[in-house]
C-alpha cells in the first residue's frame, strides 16, 4: 500500500480516549466546572460513563453534571452545542467539553495511515473571549464508515461515498440556514475550518467556495476522529476574527464563532514535544505484539473504596508533626500518631529519589517479556510526600531517567486485569 506521507500521533500503550481526555482538560489550568461532557467514538467502556471518571481525576465536585456523547464523528460538535445550550440556559456557568479518540485500526490498512490519536478540551462559559454566534445542523445518513459494537477495527463501504455525496453537500446544507439566521454572507467570515473524511475533500470544499484552506493537520496528526473539529477550533483561537467551524459525520454541524481576543492554545507546544517511535514500538503500543499476562488479581473493592486516594490523588498530612505521606493510612509514617491527620491534594511535579528498571516485569506489572522492562521510581513531590510510581512514556529508551530528575504526574491506565480497566497516576519526564 503506498504511503500517504507525513506523521501520525500514537497514544502510548497505557493511554486511551479517557486518559487523553483527562490530560487535555488538565492543560486548561481550570479546576472548577459545573459539568463535564466527554465526546468520543472510542470510549474504553460500553456500559460505564467515562465523564464521571474524568470529573473524579480532575477532582471536581461530586455534584458535577457528567455526560458521554459517543458513536459519531460529530460527537464533539454535538457536545459543543449541548454545552452552549446549558450555559445559555443560565443553569450552568462553566462546562468542560473534552473530545478524544484512539480509533482502533489494524496494521497494513488504509485506516492505519488515516487516523491519529488526539484529545482536545475547551471550556464553555458565559463571558469568554470567543462567542458562538449561532449554529446549524444537517443530517445525512450514509453507509460510509462504521464499527459494530463487537468490531475491533474501522470498516467502510467505499471511502469515496463520503467524499463525493456526503461531505460538501452536508456542510453546505448546514451553512446556508446559518447564514440566513445570522444575516451573514461569505464575505463576513474570516476563516473556515471543517473536519473531513480525508484531507483532499477538505481542500476541495474550500477551493470550491474560493477560500484558502487553513491547516488540516493531516500530515502531523492524522484525522483525529471526534476530536478533529475541536482540534481545528483550537488552531484558530489565537487569531481574532469570525470563523466558521464544521464537524462532519453523517451530516454536519456548523458554527459561526466570533473571537474577540486571542486565546492561548498549547497545540503548537504539544506538536513540538512529540517523541518519534519506530514501527515496532507502534505495534506494541497498539497491542499487536507481545502477550500481556496478569498473574495477580487486584481488588476491585479496594479500588472503589480508595477512589479519593487513587483517582483524585489525595494523601495525608499529620496534624502532630506535619509530615505528608501517601497512601492515606491511620498512622503517620514519621511520628506514629494515630488517626490525627488531614487529607491533602498532592503535587503535580516532583523529583526522582531513586528508581529501578526491571526486565522480569513488563510495564503495567504484567509478566515480563524480556524486551519491554518495567521502570518504577520513588518520587519526592512538590509540597511534600514521597510516592512510588511507574514511569511511563519510556518503553526501552530511558534517557533522562535518573536520580533528581524532574518528573510530572500523568493520568494513565494502570493495567487491565480481571476484565476491568484500572486507572490512576504515573509519572513521566516533562513534555
Quick one: pLDDT at residue 295? 78
pLDDT at 143 over 90: no
Q: What would the mean pLDDT of 369-378 be, rounded to a whole number?
A: 94
Q: What is the distance, to the nearest Å, from the Cα of residue 184 to the centroid of all Cα atoms in its chain?
A: 34
For the entire predicted model, the pTM comes to 0.95
pLDDT at 294 over 90: no
Please write the tens of the pLDDT for every residue from 312-329.
999 999 999 999 999 999
In CATH, the number for domain 300-314+341-428 is: 2.40.50.840
Which residues does 111 contact at the CB level (< 8 Å), separation at least 6? 103, 105, 153, 154
Work out the pLDDT band at 407, boundaries 50, 70, 90. very high
- Inter-residue contact 390 to 375 (CB < 8 Å): yes
Please write the tens of the pLDDT for every residue from 153-162.
888 888 788 8
pLDDT at 163 over 90: no
Instruction: Work out whether the CA dihedral 109, 110, 111, 112 comes out positive or negative.
Output: positive
Q: What would the mean pLDDT of 389-393 be, rounded to a whole number?
A: 97
pLDDT at 189 over 70: yes
Domain ranges of the chain: 17-285, 300-314+341-428
**Quick one: angle between helices 167-182 and 199-208, nearest 10?**
40
Which residues does 362 contact at the CB level (< 8 Å), separation at least 6? 290, 292, 368, 369, 372, 373, 374
Q: Which of 105-109, 136-140, 156-160 has the lowest mean pLDDT?
A: 156-160
DSSP line for 78-145 = HHHHHHHHHHHTTS-SEEEEEEEE-----TTSHHHHHB--EEEEEEEETT-SEEEEEEEEEE---SSE
- Inter-residue contact 82 to 76 (CB < 8 Å): no
Quick one: pLDDT at residue 142? 85
pLDDT at 175 over 70: yes
- Inter-residue contact 98 to 40 (CB < 8 Å): no
Q: Pull the grid cell for residue 51.
A: 465523564
Between 3.40.50.620, 1.20.140.10, 3.40.47.10, 3.40.50.450, what CATH number should domain 17-285 receive? 3.40.47.10
Q: Pull the grid cell for residue 34.
A: 459545573
Quick one: pLDDT at residue 1? 64
Quick one: pLDDT at residue 41? 97
Quick one: pLDDT at residue 291? 82
Amino acid at each position: 500500500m503506498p504511503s500517504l506521507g507525513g506523521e501520525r500521533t500514537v497514544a502510548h500503550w497505557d493511554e486511551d480516549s479517557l486518559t487523553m481526555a483527562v490530560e487535555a482538560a488538565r492543560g486548561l489550568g481550570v479546576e472548577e466546572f459545573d459539568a463535564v461532557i466527554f465526546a468520543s467514538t472510542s470510549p474504553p467502556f460500553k456500559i460505564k460513563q467515562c465523564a464521571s471518571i474524568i470529573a473524579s481525576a480532575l477532582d471536581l465536585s461530586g455534584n458535577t453534571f457528567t455526560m458521554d456523547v459517543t458513536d459519531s464523528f460529530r460527537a464533539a460538535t454535538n457536545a459543543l452545542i449541548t454545552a452552549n445550550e446549558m450555559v445559555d440556559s443560565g443553569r450552568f456557568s462553566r462546562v468542560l467539553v473534552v473530545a478524544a479518540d484512539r480509533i482502533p485500526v489494524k496494521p497494513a490498512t488504509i485506516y492505519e495511515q488515516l487516523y491519529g490519536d488526539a484529545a482536545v478540551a475547551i471550556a464553555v462559559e458565559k463571558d469568554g473571549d470567543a462567542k458562538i454566534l449561532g449554529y446549524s445542523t444537517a443530517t445525512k445518513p450514509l453507509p460510509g464508515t462504521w464499527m459494530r459494537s463487537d468490531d475491533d477495527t474501522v470498516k467502510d463501504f467505499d471511502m469515496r461515498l463520503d467524499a463525493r455525496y456526503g461531505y460538501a453537500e452536508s456542510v453546505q446544507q448546514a451553512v446556508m440556514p446559518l447564514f440566513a439566521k445570522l444575516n451573514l454572507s461569505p464575505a463576513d467570515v474570516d476563516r473556515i475550518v471543517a473536519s473531513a473524511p480525508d484531507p483532499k475533500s477538505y481542500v476541495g470544499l474550500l477551493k470550491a467556495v474560493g477560500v484558502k484552506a487553513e491547516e488540516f493537520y493531516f500530515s502531523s496528526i492524522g484525522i483525529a476522529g471526534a476530536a478533529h473539529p475541536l482540534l481545528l477550533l483550537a488552531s484558530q483561537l489565537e487569531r481574532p476574527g469570525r470563523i466558521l467551524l464544521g464537524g462532519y459525520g453523517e451530516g454536519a454541524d456548523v458554527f459561526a464563532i466570533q473571537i474577540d481576543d486571542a486565546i492561548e492554545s498549547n497545540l503548537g507546544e504539544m506538536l513540538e514535544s512529540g517523541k518519534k517511535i519506530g514501527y515496532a514500538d507502534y505495534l506494541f503500543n497498539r497491542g499487536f505484539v507481545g502477550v500481556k499476562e496478569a498473574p495477580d488479581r487486584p481488588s476491585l473493592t479496594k479500588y472503589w473504596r480508595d477512589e479519593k486516594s487513587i483517582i483524585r490523588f489525595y494523601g495525608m498530612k499529620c496534624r502532630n508533626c506535619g509530615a505528608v505521606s501517601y497512601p492515606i493510612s491511620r498512622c503517620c509514617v514519621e511520628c506514629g500518631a494515630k488517626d490525627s491527620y488531614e487529607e491533602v491534594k498532592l503535587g503535580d511535579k516532583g523529583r526522582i529519589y531513586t528508581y529501578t528498571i526491571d526486565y522480569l516485569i513488563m510495564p503495567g506489572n504484567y509478566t515480563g517479556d524480556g524486551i519491554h522492562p518495567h521502570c518504577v521510581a520513588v518520587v519526592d513531590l512538590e509540597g511534600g510526600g514521597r510516592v512510588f510510581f511507574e514511569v511511563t512514556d519510556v518503553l526501552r529508551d530511558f534517557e533522562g531517567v535518573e536520580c533528581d530528575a524532574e518528573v510530572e504526574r500523568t493520568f494513565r491506565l494502570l493495567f487491565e486485569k480481571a476484565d476491568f480497566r484500572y486507572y490512576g497516576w504515573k509519572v513521566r519526564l516533562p513534555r
